[in-house]
Amino acid sequence: MFVLEFKVKAKKAQYQAIDEAIRTTQFIRNKCIRYWMDNQGVNKYALNKLCKQLAEEFSWAKKLNSMARQSAAERAWSSISRFYDNCKKGIKGKKGYPQFQKNNRSVEYKTCGWKLDLNTRKHITFTDKKGIGRVKLIGTRDLHFYHPDEIKRVRLLRRADGYYCQFLINTEVKEQLEPTKRTIGLDVGLESFYTDSDGQKEPNPRFFREGEQKLKRLQRRLSKKQKGSSNRRKARQKLGKAHLRISRQRKEHGKRIARCVVKSNDFIAYENLKVSNMVKNHCLAKSISDVGWYQFRVWLEYFAQKFGKVAVAVPPQYTSQECSNCGRIVKKSLSTRTHACQCGTKLDRDENAAINILREGLRTVGRTGTAGFEPDSKLVERPASTSVVSEQLGQADSSAGNLVSSS
């Protein structure tokens, strides 16, 4: 799926109608979760039948489009199936038991309940009985490049700075680039955003740290306002916009860096980090969340698939401790930033880890998963993508050996 997003411009009554549709979606989803908790053997088809019963029981729920109600039930089943999968896999700790939603911010329509203006493609009309009606789409992307039949879903979202409309288009976006004959290993960190196997470092922007003082000031102002007042609502909106700005900065930074890395290399090896476990360290949780490693990995895998490159996730164990020249284990704490081995190798700790990551990625390519989204889809082997660089693996091994010997 390819997603296009536009800002929505409408009247105040239409915004209220969108809020009502979002609340109805949350109500149906929570009802489906409760029905699953109270009954055994419930499947997704039973939840779809429950949507019809809720529409007959509540007149305001019937005003929402039938396929939008089914989408709400699908959201409930998605959380249920994810819980089942985690139990089958035997994941340690919490399995993600489905919870009731308290602050839903979107409603999703399928192939009906909306009508796009085919002339300008800048207006969309929602035809259900919620009263949303015709709204204007503001954005630079052109929907004329896509046939209306390719639009599989339309989603309305509420954010701190307004309302947005997303179009989920069933098409593959791929571009062919000339091979660069370069391989690279990436070691992500907190001091630098990443260090590659060539010794180059990308600085860590620390967006949250830079805006933390402003967030604290806005949070203090919000706490002083009277609950339920108009001033509190305005203060809450300002705080939400500040958080949204930091989130967008982090997303755009990860996207830009990932695109540059993929376009300039044919083979990328990176660490398969479990960020959810790493943030349990309360001393580093804020810094780890601020740097955005997982988001960078998602964009790295997306652009690798788009440009026909190969991206391999490597286990991070001992990549920092192992010497990239002789393979000897050199124990060091997090405060030790220089790798010094008895064989005479002395280089930056992160550069040593990046070389080990590249070597391990070249060693395991072809029998481990390549670029793919997780958890949306499983990491699978792609023989076509692997064949793109299979002819270059001999050169890559030799270049990695030269790099190690020079270090």
The four Cα atoms 382, 385, 386, 391 give a dihedral, to 10 degrees, of: 160
Q: What's residue 366's pLDDT?
A: 52
d(CA 74, CA 79): 9
Q: What's residue 21's pLDDT?
A: 96
Read off the DSSP letter of residue 322: B
Q: What's residue 367's pLDDT?
A: 52
Strands 123-126 and 114-116: antiparallel
* Cβ within 8 Å of residue 90, ≥6 positions away: none
d(CA 31, CA 37): 10
Question: Which residue type, as a one-letter code, is found at position 26?
Answer: Q
**Average pLDDT by stretches of 10, the chain with 407 residues:** 92 96 96 95 93 94 95 95 93 89 94 91 94 94 88 95 94 85 91 90 93 95 94 95 95 94 93 87 89 92 92 89 85 84 86 90 66 38 35 40 38
d(CA 407, CA 394): 20
Q: Which of 256, 160, 242 is nearest to 207 (CA)?
A: 242
d(CA 339, CA 139): 50
Q: What are phi and psi of 282, to 5 degrees?
A: -65, -20
263, with CB counted inside 10 A (0-12, 13-18, 19+), is: middle
Q: What's residue 401's pLDDT?
A: 41
Are 270 and 357 in contact by the 8 Å Cβ rule? The answer is yes
d(CA 72, CA 51): 9
* Cβ within 8 Å of residue 361, ≥6 positions away: 185, 267, 268, 269, 270, 312, 314
